[in-house]
A and B are shown apart, each in its own frame.
Chain A
Amino acid sequence: GAVVSQHPSRVICKSGTSVKIECRSLDFQATTMFWYRQFPKQSLMLMATSNEGSKATYEQGVEKDKFLINHASLTLSTLTVTSAHPEDSSFYICSASRIDGSGNTIYFGEGSWLTVV
């Protein structure tokens, strides 16, 4: 089946530094990927829609200069949290849209735990 891989699965960084999270579709091409964040015991909140070869579309309230998204190829999107602060500590999850004869199915990565100290 389709697999979406995220890396790293866990990362700890110092306040003020930047951290990059990668999302890869391993056996299919994804023109669209989505980035979510999830706080403990809460649902997934969509941060932005990443489109290959164009600028990401950010949801209301999400700072595009803080959460940089790059979708440089059909199998890779990256999320860079710039000047991270402890309140950015969260579970970040990506998903990729796979389009085939069955329609459009969205598959999720395993998520990346970010802790900012």
Chain B
Amino acid sequence: QKEVEQDPGPLSVPEGAIVSLNCTYSNSAFQYFMWYRQYSRKGPELLMYTYSSGNKEDGRFTAQVDKSSKYISLFIRDSQPSDSATYLCAMSTTSYDKVIFGPGTSLSVIP
């Protein structure tokens, strides 16, 4: 079993839809959870950073962490064509430790 699993997609939604992206993980020691957005041929861009369980909201983005289920989610409201990218979940055990990435989900928002 991989440490971090993520549906690779591709996921295609109409503009304005709510997008739900998810990851599951196996290492219960993970405490720091991140979501990155990566456009084609570019480095990843940090979207959300969450410690332990709970929700965090930033504009159209909401990150949820359920440590009991080892499950994290990223919700995008009012999706825009500019949101079309690959979304990578990532996590680490401590704030100083290496980050383990999921394989990424490819998202296309259709105008």
Chain A interface residues toward B at CB < 8 A:
4, 6, 32, 34, 42-44, 46, 49, 91, 93, 95, 97, 99, 103-111, 113
Contact = CB atoms under 8 A, between A and B. Distances in A.
A34 B43 contact: no
A46 B97 CA distance: 12
A42 B45 CA distance: 16
Interface of B: 32, 34, 36, 41-46, 49, 51, 88, 95-96, 98-104
A108 B41 contact: no
Nearest to B100: A46
B44 A108 contact: yes
Nearest to B6: A43
B34 A106 contact: yes
A46 B95 CA distance: 16
B98 A43 contact: no
Contact of B43 (A32, A99, A108): A108
5 contacts: A43-B102, A106-B34, A108-B43, A108-B46, A110-B42
Contacts of A110: 42-43
Nearest to A103: B95
Contacts of A42: 103
A95 B92 CA distance: 14
A109 B46 contact: no
A49 B42 contact: no
A110 B100 CA distance: 19
B46 A105 contact: yes
Contact of B41 (A43, A46, A97, A113): A113
Interface centre among A6, A43, A93, A111 (most CB of B within 10 A): A43
Given A93-B44, A109-B43, A104 B96 contact: yes
Contacts of A44: 44, 88, 101
A6 B34 contact: no
A109 B45 CA distance: 9
A111 B43 CA distance: 5
Contacts of A32: 96
A102 B98 CA distance: 18
Nearest to A110: B43
